[in-house]
Amino acid sequence: MKGIIFNILEQFVVENFGEETYDKILKQANLGMKEPFVSPGTYPDEHVFKLVVSAANELNISAQDVLKSFGKFTFGKLAEKFPVFVDPYNHPKPFLMTVESIIHVEVNKLYEGAYTPKFTYTNTEANKLTITYSSKRKLYDLMEGLIDGVGDYFKVPIRQSRKVYEKDGVEVCDFELEFLN
Ligand code: HEM
């Protein structure tokens, strides 16, 4: 996972719970790292999972809830850092449909060694969209948080439900979204 995600995770903890809490979480995660995370660096996915478990222990909430809140926070930071991807849109639906074919394509050019999830879209009704997510990381709770963050950003509440199933021998997850305005 790219360093930028670890940097945002640090910001998320520091802004909400303070520097000391982040230091404790980092220590408890026992990553064996001496240097800070740098944005263009690539670090083991295992580090993210360990930090999330450590944060869940420290904050007394579930790892799922850490990932959801972190996802919501992350979208705000990504939108701030990359206004070029969000500025052309005023509704989450057309914006979300650019993540696979534009945003994550650019991310893979910008960050060497990035691995982004695979999305396919099913667009049947005007106020609905299904995103089928597939990734070796299975970060469904992070995804849910990111989608909530997109809804907040565009000020359009998004109702979501998920279905995990196997497609061609690979686990995927449908995020069925309904845009409430
Ligand atoms: C400005 C918009 C966005 C930018 C710049 C961006 C960038 C990134 C970056 C840098 C990563 C890390 C890749 C790695 O560490 O190898 C990532 C991962 C991810 N992105 Fe995006 N992203 C954006 C929007 C979104 C949105 C709107 C969603 C969801 C609807 C999303 C879903 C994800 C997920 C779930 C991951 C985690 C990796 C995985 O599941 O395997 N992203 N993105």
Ligand 1 site, CB within 6 A: 1-2, 4-5, 75, 78-79, 82, 85, 96, 99, 103-104, 107, 111, 114-117, 135, 137, 139, 142-143, 146-147, 150
Structure tokens at 181: 């305005």
Structure tokens at 98: 């650019």
Query: Closest by alpha carbon to 7, among 77, 89, 87?
Result: 77
pLDDT digit string, tens, across residues 11-39: 999 999 999 999 999 999 999 998 999 99
Hey, what long-range contacts does 17-26 have (CB within 8 A, 24 or more apart)? 17/59, 21/58, 21/59, 24/58, 25/51, 25/54, 25/55, 25/58, 26/51, 26/54
Going by CA atoms, what residue is nearest to atom 11 of ligand 1? 116
Helix, strand counts (H, E) of the chain: 8, 4
Going by CA atoms, what residue is nearest to atom 12 of ligand 1? 2
Q: Where are the domains of the chain?
A: 3-61, 70-179
Q: Which CATH number fits domain 70-179: 3.90.1150.10, 2.60.40.1180, 3.90.1520.10, 3.40.50.1000?
A: 3.90.1520.10
pLDDT in tens for each of the 181 residues of the chain? 999 999 999 999 999 999 999 999 999 999 999 899 999 999 999 999 999 999 999 999 999 999 999 999 999 999 999 999 999 999 999 999 999 999 999 999 999 999 999 999 999 899 999 999 999 999 999 999 999 999 999 999 999 999 999 999 999 999 999 999 8
Pocket test for ligand 1, best of 73, 103, 109, 175 (most atoms within 8 A of CB): 103
